[in-house]
Structure 1
C-alpha cells in the first residue's frame, strides 16, 4: 500500500481515537495546527482549480475534515472541563483575542461565528442546492448536444464518450456537494453549541470542583473557550469559503486569481473614474493626503493597463508555418486517411438547409431518433452517421454509404412535398413524377399550394425531411447485418454479461468464439429478425453449440426459439397469415440435393429446377401483391434455410418461414402452392 493511502487510513483511525481517548495538551496543539493547515490548503486548491471536477474529492474531503474538527472539539472540551487546559495553541489564541477584557473577546468570537453560519455557510448551502438542481435539469440537453455533434462529425466517438462521462460526473459532483454543504452547516451549529457547553459547564466545574471564585473561573474558562472556538471556527470558515468558491465557479476557464484580476481590470477607463471619485472625496473633511495618494495609484494603474491593452498580440508567422508543415509531414495524418466511417450521408449544396439548425434543419435530431428506434427494433446499436455536404453531387441529390460503398441515392426538392396516390391510375394532382426512394412507389413532387387538395383527394403527403429519414431508416435496416462486426458483437455480449454472466460463460469463448456468435446474429439481422432478445438467442446457442458449430444451423435453431417474436412480426392483428406453401414434391427435391461438406451444407440443384421454382414463387408473389398482401413462403424446417438462399438473389424481400417458427394458434391460410411438373 502506498504511503498516501496509508496516511488517509491512519488519519481516520486517529479521528476515532480522539473521540474516545483523552489526548495530552502538546498533541492537541499539533493536531489543531494540522487542522488549520489542511483548511488553508483546501481553500488554496479551490481557488486554483479551473473547473469543479478537478477537485472531485471535495465533498468527501468536507466530511472527513468536519469529522476531524468535531473530534478535536470533543478532545479540547474534555481537556478544558477536566484540567482547565487544552494546550498552548488554544491558550495563546484565547489570550490574544480576549486580552484584558473577556467580554470583548467573546463578542468578537460571536461575530466570527455569525459570519460563518449566517453568511458563508447559508449561502454555500443554497448555491449547492440550485447548482445540483440545474445540473440535473440540464443533463438531457447536454446529452442531446453531444449526440448532435457526434452525428455531425464534429467530435469522435471517444470524445463523445469522454464528454458524456464528464456530464455524468458533474451531476454526481453537484449532487454530492448539495449533501456535503449540510455537513458544513451542521458543523457551524455544533461549534456554537460546544462553546455554550464549555462556558456554562466550565463555570460550574471551576467553582464547584476546582474551588475557583467567579472571576477566576470566568477568566480561565472564557479564555480557553474563546481560544478553542477560534481554532475551530477559523478552519471551518476557510472550508465554508472554499465550498462557496467551488460551487459558484461553474463557467470558469482559469484559476480564480487570473479570472478576478482579468475580469475586474478588463476596462482600464473605469479606474480613471474611480480615481476621480476618490480625489473628490478628499475635498471633504476626509484625509486629503491619503485620498490623493490612492487616486494617483488608481490613475497610474489605469494608464498602464490601457497602454498594455493597446499592444496587438502578433502571432509568429514563422512558428505557425513550421507547425503546419510538421503536422502535414506527420505520418499520423496519412494513417488517419485510412479510417472509414461505417455510415456516411452526403448531400448536394441545395440540401444544406436539411442539416443546418440555423435554417430550421432538424436532420441531426432525426438521425438521433432513427438510431434509438433501430436499437429498439433490431437490438443493434447503429454506428454514428457522418453527415457532410459534397459539391460533386447534384444540388438536390443525396447518397448513403455503408463502409465506403454507395448503397442508396435519391433526390429531394426542399420547396416541394412528396405525394403518393392510393390509386396508381389516379392523376388528379399536378406535379413532378418521381419514385418514393425508400420503397420505390410512384409519387409526385407537388407545390405547397396544392398540398391541402392532395390530402383531401386521398394522397399521402410527406415533407422532404421525413422522406429522407424514412429512406435512411429502411436502408440501414437492409444492411444492418453488415454493420454488425466482431467489435459490435463484443459490446452486445459485454452488455448481456452484466445481467447474465453464467449464460455468457456457457457460450463464449467456448464452444463458440465471438466471430461465431457474430455470424449467427448477422444471419438473423439479414432476414430482418431482431436480436434484441439476446438472452433467448444465447440460451439456444448454449443448448445446441455443443452438438454443432455450423452457424447456419445455429441461426435456424435461434429462429425457432424466437417463434413468438417472428409470429408477432408477420401475423395480422386477426391472428391470420396468408402464405405460399411449398409442395411435398418440391421439398423432397430440395432435400435430396443438399450437399454436406466439412465447410457446411449447401444446395446443389440443377439450373432448370432452380429456375422453375423461382418462376413459380415469383408468379405467386405477384398474385399476392395485387391483393396488397406481404409475400410469405411457408415450408418445413429442414429446407427453409436452403430455399431462402435460393430466393435471396432474385427476391430478397420475400420472407421464408418454417412451421416451427409460427405459434400453434396462428390461423394459416394457404393462398398458393409452389409446385413443379
Structure 2
C-alpha cells in the first residue's frame, strides 16, 4: 500500500509539472522551426498517445471511468494541430529537397502506405476523411448531444431519488453525498463531451484545409521559387502533403473511435471486450448463423469454398459454447464440510447482534427480497433515525425465522431479553380505534402491540371503508416496525456499552479535544462514563448532545459525587436538553405536580432510607401509582406531552416507581426546568396517601395523623 501511495504521489507531481511544459512545447511547435528528427519523434509520440487514449476508452466499464476524456481529447487535438503547423512549415521550406526533407515518418506515409502514387494517396485520404467526419464524428457528436440533454433533464429526478432514499434510511449521508457528486460529474461529463465532439469535427475539417494549403503552396513555391517543373513539384509536394495529412489523420481517426466508444458505452461491470464477449457467448445464435450460412452455401451461384467453411466455423463455435455451458451446469457444488458433532462453536452459544427479531413462518414474506422486503426497509430506517435521536449507533437488528413460533407471531429480544411479542397477519390490515369513530367495521378484535389501543384486523379490501369510518389503518410491516422502534427506545440503556462510550469520547476528541482530555481518563474512568450514559438512557434522556453532558461532568468532577448524586447533578445542568425532548422550545411545559403535603411525605421517605432502591412503603407506593394514574391517563390518551415534577430529593426514587407502570411519563425535578421556561400546571396530585416506611427506629405515625 505504501508503494502504491508513493507511485500515485509521484504521478500527481509529475503531472503537475509536465502539463505546463507540454503546453509550452505546443506553442513552440507552432512558432519555432523544428528539425525533421524532432518532427519524427513528435509524430510517433502522437500515434502513441492516440493509441493509449483508445485503449483506456475500450477498457472503461462506464463513461465516468474516463471522466478526463474531454480535456485529454482537447490536448491531443491541439498537439496534432501544432504538429500540422510545424510539418507544413518544413514541407513548404524544404520540400524541394526531396521526399525525405520532412522526416522519415512523413516519407513513409507518403510513399510506403500509398505506393508512391499521390493520386492513390489523395483518394485514400478522402476516404479516411469521409469515414472520420461523416460517419464516426457526426454519430459520436449526435450521441453526445442527446446524452447531455437527457442527463441534464434527469438530474432533478435523480436528486429527488437520492433525497428519498436518504430519508427512508436506505443511504447514509456519506453515500448520498457521493451519489450527488457522481450525478453532478456525469452531467458535467456529457456536457463536456457534447463540446469536445466539436473539436474532433473541427480537427477533421482543419486536416482537409491544411492538405489544400500544402498542395497549393508547394506547387507555387516549387515552380516559381525553386525552378521545378509542374510535374516535379506535384510529385514532390503532393506526396509530402498527403503523407503529412495521413500521419495526422490516422491518430485523429483513433481519437474519433475512442470518443465514439466512450459516449456509446453502457455501464457494465465488464470492459467493452468483456461486455461484447458475454453477450455473444450464446451457442444458439452461433448455430443459427451457421445454419443460415449453410443454406446460403447450397445456392449454386455462391462461392461454396468460402461460405461453407464459414458455416462450419460457426457450428464449431456454437458446439464449443454448448459444451462449456454443459460443463458448468454439471460441475457439482462444493460439498459442505461434515460438522464434527463433538465440536461446539461460539455461534451456537452467543448471539452476534444485541437486537433480534424472530418471526413465524407466515411472516417470512415481510422480509422476502422478491417481494420488496418491506419490513427490512423499515428496520433500516428505524436504526438510522433512532441512532440520530439517541446519540449512539444502534446495533443491527438480526431477523430470523423461528419454526417454534406460531406462524403469525413475532418476538423482539434486546440483549437476550424478550421485550415484545405479538402476532400480525401479513395479508390483512390493522385498523386502530381513533376514539372518534363514525361507524364501526367488522374485524378480529385485538390490542395494538405498541400502545395497547383497541384495534381490529381487517381484510385489505375493507381498508377504504375503515378509513372512512374514522379508523387509522396501518399495514403489518408498520405494526412490527413501530413495536420494534418502541422496544429499542425502551431498552436503549441495554444496548449502550463501554465501546459506545469510547466512541462518544473519540468523537468528542475530534471536535473538542480539551474537553475530552479533561473528561477521560483524568476526570472519569470509561466505565463511569458508560454508567452515567446508561442512567440517562434509562430515563429516555438522549445522548445526541454529548458535549453538554461532558461539560457538566467536568464541572462536577471536583465535588466527588456518588453515582446517583452525579446523575442528578448532571440532569440539573442539562435540564434545558431534557425539557426540549418533552415539548418544543416555544411551548410552555405542561406539568403534573404534587400537593405540598404529599411531597413532604415523599421527601421524608427518601431521607429515612437514602440508600434504598425502593424507599416507599408498599401501600404508599401503590396509592401513589394509583393517584398518578388517575391524573396522567387522560393526558396519555389525548397524546399530550407533559412531565411529572417532584423535588430533587425524591425525583430519582419516584422515577423508578413511576417508570414500572408508566414508562412514557417523564419525571423531572424543579431544578431541571430552565428559569426562562414557562410552565402550565395541568393536574395536581394531593389525595391522602398511606403511611410511608421510616424504619424501625423512626416511627412517623404521629406526624401522619397530623397530616
The normalised TM-score by structure 2 is 0.72
Query: Could you tell me which of 601, 618, 622 is aligned with 2:625?
Result: 618
Question: Residue 245 of structure 1: SS of its match in structure 2?
Answer: helix
Structure 1 residues 40 and 339: alpha-carbon distance in aligned structure 2, compared to 1, 3 A threshold: farther
Query: Could you tell me which of 290, 294, 304 is aligned with 1:271?
Result: 290
| Range 608-617 or range 18-27, more displaced | 608-617
Structure 1 residues 485 and 606: alpha-carbon distance in aligned structure 2, compared to 1, 3 A threshold: closer
Q: Does 1:585 align with 2:585?
A: no
Match of 1:52 in 2: 62
Cα shift at 1:666: 2.1
Aligned residues of 1:581 and 1:673 also touching (Cα < 8 A) = yes
Structure 1 residues 99 and 121: alpha-carbon distance in aligned structure 2, compared to 1, 3 A threshold: farther
Match of 1:117 in 2: 137
| Range 466-475 or range 661-670, more displaced | 661-670
Structure 1 residues 646 and 245: alpha-carbon distance in aligned structure 2, compared to 1, 3 A threshold: same
Match of 1:313 in 2: 326
Query: Could you tell me which of 601, 611, 614 is aligned with 1:604?
Result: 611
Within 5 A, what are the aligned runs for 1:148-227? Answer: 171=183, 174-175=186-187, 177-179=189-191, 181-182=193-194, 184-192=196-204, 194-195=206-207, 198=210, 211=225, 226-227=242-243
Match of 1:235 in 2: 251
Q: Does 1:250 align with 2:267?
A: yes
Q: Does 1:353 align with 2:372?
A: no
Match of 1:633 in 2: 644
| Range 487-496 or range 174-183, more displaced | 487-496
Structure 1 residues 292 and 431: alpha-carbon distance in aligned structure 2, compared to 1, 3 A threshold: closer
Structure 1 residues 268 and 452: alpha-carbon distance in aligned structure 2, compared to 1, 3 A threshold: closer
Question: Residue 399 of structure 1: SS of its match in structure 2?
Answer: strand
Question: Residue 341 of structure 1: SS of its match in structure 2?
Answer: coil
Query: Could you tell me which of 59, 71, 76 is aligned with 1:63?
Result: 71
Match of 2:278 in 1: 259
Aligned residues of 1:198 and 1:221 also touching (Cα < 8 A) = no
Q: Pick the structure with greater CA Rg.
A: 2
Unpaired runs of 5+ in structure 1? 152-156, 595-602
Q: Does 1:12 align with 2:22?
A: no
Paired with 1:264 and 1:184, the residues of 2 have a C-alpha distance of 40
Q: Does 1:538 align with 2:547?
A: yes
Cα shift at 1:346: 1.9
Aligned residues of 2:132 and 2:256 also touching (Cα < 8 A) = no
Paired with 1:626 and 1:640, the residues of 2 have a C-alpha distance of 20
Structure 1 residues 292 and 579: alpha-carbon distance in aligned structure 2, compared to 1, 3 A threshold: same
Aligned residues of 1:433 and 1:444 also touching (Cα < 8 A) = yes
Paired with 1:410 and 1:429, the residues of 2 have a C-alpha distance of 22
Structure 1 residues 173 and 305: alpha-carbon distance in aligned structure 2, compared to 1, 3 A threshold: farther
Aligned residues of 1:48 and 1:256 also touching (Cα < 8 A) = no
Match of 2:519 in 1: 511
Within 5 A, what are the aligned runs for 1:443-454? Answer: 443-445=455-457
1:350-373, Cα deviation, whole Å (9 max, x unpaired)? 223333465687323433443454
- RMSD (CA atoms): 5.1
Within 5 A, what are the aligned runs for 1:407-422? Answer: 407-414=419-426, 416-421=428-433
The normalised TM-score by structure 1 is 0.75
Query: Could you tell me which of 653, 668, 671 is aligned with 2:680?
Result: 668
Aligned residues of 2:284 and 2:318 also touching (Cα < 8 A) = no
Cα shift at 1:618: 0.9
Aligned residues of 1:342 and 1:383 also touching (Cα < 8 A) = yes
Aligned residues of 1:593 and 1:605 also touching (Cα < 8 A) = no
Structure 1 residues 573 and 249: alpha-carbon distance in aligned structure 2, compared to 1, 3 A threshold: closer
Aligned residues: 640
Structure 1 residues 653 and 609: alpha-carbon distance in aligned structure 2, compared to 1, 3 A threshold: same
Q: Does 1:340 align with 2:344?
A: no
Aligned residues of 1:582 and 1:635 also touching (Cα < 8 A) = no
| Range 562-571 or range 409-418, more displaced | 562-571
Structure 1 residues 441 and 239: alpha-carbon distance in aligned structure 2, compared to 1, 3 A threshold: same
Structure 1 residues 180 and 493: alpha-carbon distance in aligned structure 2, compared to 1, 3 A threshold: farther
Question: Residue 324 of structure 1: SS of its match in structure 2?
Answer: coil
Cα shift at 1:201: 6.4
1:130-167, Cα deviation, whole Å (9 max, x unpaired)? 5787799668879999999x99xxxxx9xx99999997
